Amino acid sequence: MPYSYPYPHPAVTTDIVVFTILAEKLQILLIKRAADPYQGFWALPGGFLDIDEDLEECAARELREETGISGVYLEQLYTFGRPDRDPRERVISVTYYALSASDQLQLKAASDAADVAWFPMDDTPELAFDHGTIIRMAHQRLVAKLNYSTIAFQFMPDTFTLSELQTVYEILLNEQLDKRNFRKWILSLGQIEETGNMSRRGNHRPARVYRVKNPDKVEIIR
Amino acid sequence: MPYSYPYPHPAVTTDIVVFTILAEKLQILLIKRAADPYQGFWALPGGFLDIDEDLEECAARELREETGISGVYLEQLYTFGRPDRDPRERVISVTYYALSASDQLQLKAASDAADVAWFPMDDTPELAFDHGTIIRMAHQRLVAKLNYSTIAFQFMPDTFTLSELQTVYEILLNEQLDKRNFRKWILSLGQIEETGNMSRRGNHRPARVYRVKNPDKVEIIR
DNA sequence: GCAAAAGTGTTATCCCTACACCCATGA
DNA sequence: TCATGGGTGTAGGGATAACACTTTTGC
């Protein structure tokens, strides 16, 4: 026990809610716990903060180590610290949420995870710790941000059609949108541009292909 | 050094940005640091988390102990954890912001604070640690919340006139508002009601006095 | 009666919503 | 030629923004 302090210190972890859109559904990434507490339960990826790394670095590292995902949009969500939230010791969890385009997912199962899998947001198993509360808050935040930011673009691949983009919005908002109004609105934001290419998949008229002008930045709109 | 762990643990603190409106200005509460590091600098009230208390409890306690303020609106803001943000040891700060009606301020100077004072938001001294960043983020959040919540009511005393309420909005938004439009809008929210009394201060027509229907809850509007 | 803030409606503009048909392609 | 999704404009309604005068009080 080589690390000693005059006053008790809590442990600090990060946990990450990773969203993507797969099979026309909003899905989140969970890891089956290999060890106690909550052995066999599904939980968010995450882990203990290294003493010299920044909080967001920690989230990115844990995500990479436990799931193989990197280079995704990452934003701090909230910090959870109820004294009884972990039976082992006092743990403060700084939570993040991440959005990933479904075309760049490359999962792996890592040492401390018996299994890694995507679950539809509306059909998740019972989760370890207070992770159920965390995913609900992350979902709320994501949906709220649709209204005043370009966060939805983080789900898109490098290039996409307007119909594909509209489908993403429809899944996130859980409602059908009018095609003409959606196109007028999304183009009026000035955040996407035509690539000049056409997408010719399916037995129908080819669709114009767009890209996000500034794909690494989430813009505030309105 | 009786508290030992197999891995290094950071310290966890809470820091609180307290806003009020005084002298027709948005002001924040700062404490002059009595000890190193940053001795003599102004800083946010805050301090170390007790091992068995909830995060928000810690913020409320530190606020009460260091400034005498209690019973105010308190909301978690963001968690700051740059490895170099405190020269003593690794410190993770879970920050909160608080809003206080100016009529219920009762300040005190406590043991570890040489001085406590209000500063106009637009005229703050150089702050200790990364507290300058924290107050800027808190201010942004406060202004953003004006648009979709009733958070501004937290600045009001139990009863108030519509002109007083309008002045608060004008100070927070830093712009003049049209009186008729403001009144139509604020009444249409259905969140305030007439007390039946009149305010007769000044050589002019008495004003109707209102109260917030649900003063302890910040409602989401729109 | 005068200064000072309270109180009150209407109109124009903009934005959002609703809505239906033709086009280009592959099979 | 048929099935499939791509692509386009306009009109009505609701919300927001602009704007000025009368009322009530204290001195």
| All structural domains of chain A with their residue ranges | 11-145, 152-212
* Predicted local distance difference test score (pLDDT) of residue B2: 87
* Predicted local distance difference test score (pLDDT) of residue B104: 64
Buried b (16+ CB within 10 A) or exposed e, A113-130: beebebbebeebeebbbb
CB contact under 8 A, B92 and A55: yes
* Predicted local distance difference test score (pLDDT) of residue A111: 45
* Predicted local distance difference test score (pLDDT) of residue A153: 98
Own/partner contacts of A21-27, CB < 8 Å, gap of 24 or more, are A21/A102, A21/A155, A21/A168, A21/A171, A21/A172, A22/A102, A22/A118, A24/A167, A24/A171, A25/A120, A25/A121, A25/A122, A25/A171, A26/A120, A26/A121, A26/A122, A26/A139, A26/A171, A26/A172, A27/A118, A27/A119, A27/A120, A27/A121
Enumerate the β-bridge partners of residue B22.
B25
From the CA of A164 to the C1' of C18: give the distance in Å: 23
Contact flag, residue B85 CB and nucleic strand C, below 7 A: no
Among B93, B60, B92, B90, smallest CA distance to B75 is for B60
Write out the H or E segment, with its range, that includes residue B79.
strand B73-80
Longest dimension (CA), chain B: 72
Radius of gyration over every alpha carbon of chain B, rounded to an integer in angstroms: 20
* Predicted local distance difference test score (pLDDT) of residue A104: 64
Q: How confident is the model at residue B13 (pLDDT cuts 50, 70, 90)?
A: very high
Q: Does the pLDDT value for residue B182 go beyond 50?
A: yes
Q: Does the pLDDT value for residue B166 go beyond 60?
A: yes
Nucleotide nearest residue B180, measured CA to C1': C8
From the CA of A191 to the C1' of C22: give the distance in Å: 29
Q: pLDDT above 70 covers what percent of chain B?
A: 94
* Predicted local distance difference test score (pLDDT) of residue A28: 97
Indicate if A152-212 has the same CATH topology as A11-145: no
* Predicted local distance difference test score (pLDDT) of residue A2: 86
* Predicted local distance difference test score (pLDDT) of residue B37: 94
Tens-digit pLDDT profile for residues A80-125:
999 999 999 999 999 999 999 976 666 664 445 458 999 999 999 9
Q: Which two tokens stand for residue B163?
A: 């002109």
* Predicted local distance difference test score (pLDDT) of residue B111: 45
pLDDT tens string for chain A (222 positions)?
A: 789 999 999 999 999 999 999 999 999 999 999 898 999 999 999 999 999 999 999 999 999 999 999 999 999 999 999 999 999 999 999 999 999 997 666 666 444 545 899 999 999 999 999 999 999 999 999 999 999 999 999 999 999 999 999 999 999 999 999 999 999 999 999 999 999 999 999 899 999 999 999 999 999 998
Using a 7 Å cut-off to protein CB atoms, list the covered nucleotides of chain C: 3-10, 16-20, 23-27
Provide mean pLDDT across the span B87-104: 93
- Residue keyed to tokens 């649709």: A146
B216 φ/ψ sector (left φ>0, alpha ψ -120 to 50, else beta)? alpha
Residue type, B146: L
* Predicted local distance difference test score (pLDDT) of residue A114: 53
What is A152-212's CATH number?
Answer: 1.10.10.10
Query: What is the topology classification, in CATH, of domain B11-145?
Result: Nucleoside Triphosphate Pyrophosphohydrolase (3.90.79)
User: CA neighbours within 13 Å on the CB side: how many for B10?
Assistant: 29
User: CA neighbours within 13 Å on the CB side: how many for B136?
Assistant: 6
Among B162, B181, B149, smallest CA distance to B75 is for B149
Provide mean pLDDT across the span B190-219: 96
* Closest-approach residue (CA) in chain A for B220: A144
Higher pLDDT among residues B113 and A213, named by residue: A213
Q: Does the pLDDT value for residue B198 go beyond 80?
A: yes
| Among chain A residues 187-206, those with CB within 7 Å of any atom of strand C | 200, 202-206
